[in-house]
Copies of this chain bind each other. A is one copy, B any other.
Amino acid sequence: MSAGRRGRRARTEAPASARKVDYRNLRNPFPPMAAFSEDRIEALHEASLSVLEELGIKVLHPGARDLYRQGGARIDGEMVHIGREMVEAALASAPKSIRMRGAVPDRDVVLELGRMAFQPGAGCPHATDLARGRRPGTIADFRELVQITQSFDVLHMVPPLVEAQDVPMHLRHMAMTEVELTQSDKVPFLYSRGTPQVMDGFEMIRDFRGLSDAEFRAQSWCYTIINTNSPRTIDMPMAQGLIDFARHGQMAIITPFTLMGAMAPVTVAGAMTLSHAEALAAITLSQLAQPGAPVCYGTFTSNVDMKSGAPAFGTPEHFTASLVAGQLARRIGLPWRCAGGSAANINDAQAANETQFGLWGCLLAGATVTIHAAGWLEGGLTVSYEKIITDLEVLQMVAELCAGTPATDADIALDALREVPPMGHFFGAAHTMARYQTQFYEPLVGDWSNFGQWSERGAVDANHRATGIWRGIVDNFEPPPMDPDRVAALQDFIARRTAEGGAPPES
């Protein structure tokens, strides 16, 4: 069951739909779009290799520098100059297809070119909803947001939707991982904030999934996001995260976050040259730490308002940068992550338009994972409960397009056309009666009633309808089935590690 229907049922008590469409395994149906000619993509790739070789990248982590040195890089203080043959070796050893494991096989996500997975917005310090207003994020917010994420098949992985600011930093990683594991059976996320936190997370996931250490390392059971510090820096926890995730066989999604005109050149071509160089440097480190380690090429490049320096999302430049990233990802053959988003302050027409426009950039770029695809406001400073719901409508419609539409002779329906006379209607035609219950996508939040009916029912806008939907989900949420002994063991682990002092983040 898609929880879209669950939300709708909570609101309207309508009967469940007979329609079944698989939103869990999506293959991108959109023709890939190019922004630059192939020879310019090659020039951009070459320029990125030149950046790494000639200009180098600053690596703050001594162990990472050692790995680069052993791999043949030239080290000059903290600067690492990476030769193109090292990059080529890393691209050759990085896997082209990676199965990420959920709690059950039906929640596995395969990352490879041509597949498509969505995540709601991540990393927001604030949460907002119409019932309770905008506030600093809490662990209770995170719990609800994971429940919402769990309830929609079109969201494939759990991201850190909001920062649980009410939990101290040395314990937050455990509190958030506990929520992910107990409220969802989807692929969980771990922060890279130093080895102690990462090892806590690995242990929690390994034991909760009932795995031996070898079984855990043999497949990818969780993921992290590695942001470089643009331009041209990899900091301590990011380098350590790359090494730890690689050596434990877990997925690192490497995402330089570059804003054109700010921490990247003002041109799409220049920003993508920098982004590509940084991603290649991080992929190389991952493969030096463990050849064959699961790694996802990533990009998140948009522009700033050149009057104020404010970041912007869902712009033509953001769209074009996504297309270039897709061309580069196909050039290197790796699964890759892209991102939508919005800079709007509330979930209004600007927010909807920017988020969907950015999404189409990702779709036409052939992104494997699209993050911030639902709920992101203020350029990521706030996650909106209502916006998750209204954006989910678009993601579900995209998933419907993935399912394809039949065009058999029976669909062409010459019999129905014979049956209905000129200016008649097809409501009662046999062809219609056989299909009407399953033919069309049923909207999650869309209201197609006419103005009179809609007014009589209180003239409720999409945002307020969305409030009813997420509340219905949260109020009636049932976590996926899980072993109570493992839940108890998870809580024991957290209690013990808390008593030991937890694990402060490293920087």
Give chain A's interface residues, CB within 8 Å of chain B.
14, 29-33, 35-37, 40, 43-44, 47, 50-51, 55, 57-58, 79, 134, 229-233, 260-270, 273-274, 303, 305-312, 315-317, 319-320, 343-354, 356-357, 360, 364, 378, 381-382, 386-387, 390-391, 393-394, 397, 400-401, 404-409, 411-414, 416-418, 420-427, 429, 431-432, 435-437, 439-441, 443, 445-451, 454-455, 459, 461-463, 466
Contact = CB atoms under 8 A, between A and B. Distances in A.
Contacts of A451: 134, 345, 378, 381-382
Nearest to A265: B413
Contact of A233 (B79, B394, B423): B423
A55 to B, nearest CB: 6
A422 B381 contact: no
Contact of A306 (B47, B349, B436): B436
Contacts of A35: 404-405, 407
A233 B422 contact: yes
Contacts of A347: 349
B262 A412 contact: no
29 contacts: A31-B33, A44-B407, A47-B414, A55-B417, A57-B422, A229-B423, A265-B426, A265-B429, A266-B429, A266-B432, A267-B412, A269-B405, A270-B431, A273-B413, A273-B414, A305-B448, A311-B448, A315-B443, A316-B401, A316-B441, A317-B405, A345-B455, A346-B461, A351-B462, A353-B356, A353-B393, A356-B356, A378-B451, A382-B451
A260 B349 CA distance: 28
Most buried by B among A43, A343, A346, A416: A416
B435 A269 contact: no
Nearest to A445: B350
Contact of A262 (B58, B229, B397, B426): B426
A430 to B, nearest CB: 11
Given A310-B450, A356-B352, A51 B426 contact: no
A351 B447 CA distance: 10
A446 B266 contact: no
B360 A411 contact: no
Nearest to A364: B30
Contacts of A418: 55
A429 B263 CA distance: 11
Given A303-B440, A310-B450, A405-B269, A344 B424 contact: no
